[in-house]
Amino acid sequence: MTAKSTMRGGLWFLLAVLLLYGIAFLLDPTSTNLALDRSAELFSRLLPVLGFVISVLFIASLLLQPSWVRENLGERSGPRGWVLAVAGGILSAGPVYPWYAMLGDLRSKGMRTALMSVFLYNRAIKLPLLPLLIHYFGPAYALILFVYLILFSLPAGLLLERLIDGRPAPHRGNKPPPARSGD
């Protein structure tokens, strides 16, 4: 799917929503006003998340150069790439949406599919919530659960890479993989 067709689809969707609101307003102005109020409230709640997404993308574009990404998170990153993906996933915080956007950006710069999956899987480990997990389930449970989460993230990443890319990633030199916008 190209950016142009996505934009066109978005415009059609916007027009359809406006049309539906127009029809609804003619039929029941009070309920439509209530719905508009709810939409405005929802939009105001989403604004900080959108701001965060844009900030993360801006910082990632500024700091993470394609050569760095290919070297540390690309096909030839080796154990360093896995460690970075695990650590990044554990340390990442906040809503997942900005991280989707950042991973999409990193993939276009050469990040391995497996490492993207590992990053997302390890977001399951929430260090700030560890005291609560220990309170309810005990320290041994928390430790074993975290170990399994980290261990399983690796085969999950490899399996996903095999399913998406067809086979284990070959050596691609310094060329980044082609960007995949929407499959």
Partner 1 sequence: MQSEGGRNAREAMREGVSSYVGALAGSVASGHPLTSYLLGGELLDRGVSLIAVTAFLVSWVTVGSIQLPAEMLMLGRRFALYRNSICFVLAILTAVLTPTTLQVLHLAP
Residue 51 CB, nearest approach to partner 1 (Å): 16
The SS3 assignment for 149 reads helix
Judge whether 180 and 112 are in contact, CB under 8 Å: no
Q: Can you tell me the distance from the alpha carbon of 132 to that of 101, in angstroms, rounded to the nearest whole number?
A: 30
Neighbours of 54 (CB within 10 A): 12
For residue 121, the one-letter residue type is Y
Residue 9 CB, nearest approach to partner 1 (Å): 11
Closer CB to partner 1, residue 34 or residue 91? 91
CA–chain centroid gap for 174, Å, is 25
- Binding residues for partner 1, per CB under 8 A? 96-97, 100-101, 103-104, 107, 113, 116-117, 120-121, 123-124, 126, 129, 132-133, 135-138, 140-141, 144-145, 148-149, 152, 156, 159-160, 163-164, 180-183
Residue 103 CB, nearest approach to partner 1 (Å): 6
Closer CB to partner 1, residue 83 or residue 143? 143
